[in-house]
Each structure stands twice: as C-alpha cells, then as structure tokens.
Amino acid sequence: MLQFEWPLIFLILPLPLLLRRFMALSTIEPDATLKIPFPEDFSFALNYSADSNGKTAEWPITVLALLAWLLLVTAAARPQWLGDQLELPVSGRDLMLAVDLSNSMKVKDFILNNEMVDRLTATKSVAGAFIKRRQGDRMGLILFGSNAYLQTPLTFDRDTVSTLLKESVIGLAGPKTAIGDAIGLAVKKIRKASPGSRVLILLTDGANTAGEVSPLQAAQLAAKSGLKIHTIGIGADKMIVRSLFGDRLVNPSADLDEETLTKIANTTQGRYFRARNTEELEGIYQLLDRLEPVEKESRSYRPTKSLFLWPLSGALILTFLLVAVSRIKRRI
C-alpha cells in the first residue's frame, strides 16, 4: 500500500492561490503609457498582444505551474510503498564464535566428503551450517592465533559471519594460540551489548601458548560478566604417519589442553566437548542447538521503499518546461 510519512504537508497546497489573492500586485503608472501617433498601423500587433495576455495564452503556463507545485508538495510529503508484513524471529541471544587459526590447525586428521582435510576446513564446513541455523541470534566471530581479532561484531547478518569464516586462513592471526586473549576480547565486545543470553563457543586444538591473559583468569572475568562459554577440543587422538622407517601410530592432539578447556567451561556454567572427527564435530554443534535453542519470539516488520524521487523528478521536468514556455512566449 501507499502511504505518506508527512501527510500534513498537503495543507500548504493552496498557498500559491492565497499568495496571489492577498499579496499586493504592482501597478503601472499612467505616465508610463506608450503613445502611438498612428495606432491603426499597429492594430495587428495590439490585437495579437491582447490575445497573448488573455486566458487562452496563459493556460499552459498555469497548468504547468500547478502540476509542478503539486508534485513538489507530494515529494515533500515523503511517499512510501509498504510491502507485505513480515515476521522476524528475534531470540535476544548474543552468540560469539572463537576459532583457532594457529599452525596446528593444518593437521589433516579429518575426513570430509571422503577426503582427508585439515582441521580448519572441517570447522568451516560444520560451523558454517551451524551459523545458518541460528536465525534470530546476533552472531559475532573472533579469530585467534598469537593474537585475537574481532572479525565480525555482533550482527543479525549471518551470511556475512559465515562468509568471513570461510575466508579465514591458517596463520592469519599468528602461529601460536592465545586462548585467554580470545575470551577477554569476547567479554569486552559482549559486555557492551544489550543484556540477555550471552554465549561464547570457543574451538581450539591446542593449549594456551601466547597472549597477555591466562585462560582461567579470562574465564573468571567472563563468569562475572554473565558470559557462558562452551569449549570444543578438536583433533584426532590416533593417526598413522608414514615415513622411511615404516608406519607409526601417533597422537596428533597431544598438545590439546583438555583440563584447561574443561575448567573454562565449568567456571562459566558451560560444557566442554571433544571432537575427534567430522561426525563428532557435527554432533556437538547439533547438541549446542539443543542447549542454546533459538527462541521463537517474533516482531513484525514491513519493508518500505521510498518513492519521493519520482514526484521530485517530475516537478523538476515541469519546471524546465515552464521556463521554456515562458521564454518562447516572451519572444513571440
């Protein structure tokens, strides 16, 4: 439907008529009359001038002026086209993802689509699907290595969060792992947000080896700020490595500090999860969907499209025509 944001502006439509009626018109002094000694020689010109100043000659200019004024007032009233009413689910939850980009994420111990992939590639696939399911949540993204960086502030634009996660690369934030700094950065950014359910999902495959804040100190700060942290330890615990001396069985997750990750989760009333393969990682994110369900509260929204440019353009075009007609009449 069509509506006007400022409909009271239409009250000024009669303004030109009022000005013409009540403003004093300039008069021509009698002494300024042109005297012609032989008026019969100019009879044709005088008759033509009379016709030109009559109603027949003035009506095109009057019509153009009135239409231009009408369009100008219509544009000032800000016409808008209202679309169909939409229901937007809003959960009120602020959910931040913190993903490890340290060098250890290069280890290829996950299988995705029947192909061995590194840990970050598997994380992108599973976490990307998780992000798409979180309709109604405000989501943010923190990438950390030797330092922690806010890649995406809290936003309802889940497509942007998913895209920036997919574009992340190993080593972008440094080769080491600053778990404490990542938690501290999440606390800082979420603390400024409106109160509500605040959750951080932190994924790493190692131990805290960098940063200025220890993970447990950051966890205590998060608990005071009302931030719940779910931690995920990623990486296989068995892997066959081939070398010149034959195959040998190794633990690629020997550096994973599960004890610290468990304490972080317990301190903030969250949970610690262990993902040894892609299936377990998918199951963890599905479980997180159940632990942190999307609330179904909805708000109505009607998309609006501004239309004032159309009547404004029409008023400008008619103004140019009015000027052109006036000049032609003047020449005639």
CA dist., res. 313 & res. 170, Å (int): 53
- Structurally, the chain folds into a number of domains equal to 2
Q: Is 131 helix (H, G, I), strand (E, B) or coil?
A: helix
**247 and 165, same structural domain?**
yes
Alpha helices in the chain (DSSP H): 15-22, 43-52, 55-76, 119-133, 158-166, 179-191, 215-224, 258-267, 278-291, 309-331
**245 and 115, same structural domain?**
yes
* pLDDT of the residue at 304: 82
**306 and 212, same structural domain?**
no
The answer to the question of residue 29 being in a domain is no
* pLDDT of the residue at 161: 94
The answer to the question of residue 24 being in a domain is no
* pLDDT of the residue at 43: 46
**186 and 76, same structural domain?**
no
The letter for the amino acid at 332 is: I
* pLDDT of the residue at 36: 47
**306 and 293, same structural domain?**
no
The answer to the question of residue 150 being in a domain is yes
**172 and 46, same structural domain?**
no
**188 and 142, same structural domain?**
yes
The answer to the question of residue 193 being in a domain is yes
The answer to the question of residue 34 being in a domain is no
**244 and 327, same structural domain?**
no
The answer to the question of residue 32 being in a domain is no
CB proximity list for 65: less than 8 A, separation 6 or greater: 16, 322
CA dist., res. 301 & res. 304, Å (int): 9
In 3D, which of 284, 249, 234, 202 has the Cα closest to residue 117? 234
Asked whether 105 and 120 are in contact (CB, 8 A), the reply is yes
**73 and 157, same structural domain?**
no
Asked whether 271 and 229 are in contact (CB, 8 A), the reply is no
Along the 332 residues of the chain, how does pLDDT read in single tens digits? 888 888 899 998 888 888 777 765 544 455 545 554 544 444 444 444 444 444 445 677 778 788 888 999 999 999 988 877 766 555 557 899 999 999 999 989 888 888 889 999 999 999 999 998 888 788 999 999 999 999 999 998 999 999 999 999 999 999 999 999 999 999 998 876 655 678 999 999 989 999 999 999 999 999 998 899 999 999 888 766 666 666 666 777 888 999 999 999 999 999 999 998 889 899 998 888 887 776 555 556 677 888 888 888 888 898 888 888 777 777 77
* pLDDT of the residue at 156: 87
CB burial of 38-74 (b: ≥16 within 10 Å; e: otherwise) equals eeeeeeeeeeeeeeeeeeeeeeeeeebbebbbbbbbb
Range of the domain at 103: 88-299
CA dist., res. 332 & res. 329, Å (int): 5
The answer to the question of residue 27 being in a domain is no
* pLDDT of the residue at 92: 59
| The total number of residues written for the chain in this structure | 332
CB proximity list for 47: less than 8 A, separation 6 or greater: none
Phi, psi of 161, deg, nearest 5: -60, -45
* pLDDT of the residue at 138: 86
The answer to the question of residue 174 being in a domain is yes
**200 and 145, same structural domain?**
yes
**224 and 212, same structural domain?**
yes
**150 and 252, same structural domain?**
yes
CATH classification at residue 205: 3.40.50.410
